Structure 1
Amino acid sequence: MANRECTTNEQASAITLPPIHQSFSWLSNNVATDANARLAADAKTVALGGMTVANIVRRNAMAPDSGLAPLLSGNDLDYLVGLLIFSLETLHIAAEDQIDRLSDAADAAEAAASKGTKK
């Protein structure tokens, strides 16, 4: 039996399965490291997710009026809206950080330019 397990393990390790989740980015490789581009891509992702959540919530709220069954329970809707709120808060923090970086870079450039003109 031990010999069979070894063979089975060797066969299993030889099989390469594709990953369940493929990494995705709106950005091409040549701008993937640019902070401004990453923020724009994150904003697009959160906006699309927010629109999806809003449509689900709206569909769920209209279900009784149209004779359809609700898509989600009240608890599930609450979790979904909580995910949206977390996503928006995370995007807000990322935008604040990017604004601070851009302001710091502008201040440093202005300080360097003023040092150059004082000489």
Structure 2
Amino acid sequence: MLPINFYGKPTIGGVIGFLFLFTAFMRKKTYTKKTKGLFIKQRPEKKCFKCQGFGIIRCDLCSGKGFVFYERKYQRSDPCPKCFQKRYDMCPFCQGNGERSFLGKTGSNKYNKKIFRIFE
């Protein structure tokens, strides 16, 4: 029980405890939650158009297989040098957070520079 004294001045520990519990219950839950052994991240409301809010996309070099196949005189396969056999990459448009941004990528890149040149 919180040490809040309703008959006199509230104690400092009671006020801090009450504020902590109030913010913990009233805040929208955006953290990961564990469901049957899996960690599920809640997707944002304004989803990225490329990854649909997941923050990852399929590797375009290996097509999500994890290996790159070569055919010359004989067939050979190597681990994908882009995704390192993870089969996915971080989304280049939202930088992995899943939220839609105004100009695509954040920071300075060739796409933002082209858009800024149009508006100048």
Structure 1 or 2: larger strand share?
Answer: 2
**TM-score, with length taken from structure 1:** 0.24
Return the structure number with greater relative CO, CA threshold 8 A, min gap 6.
Answer: 1
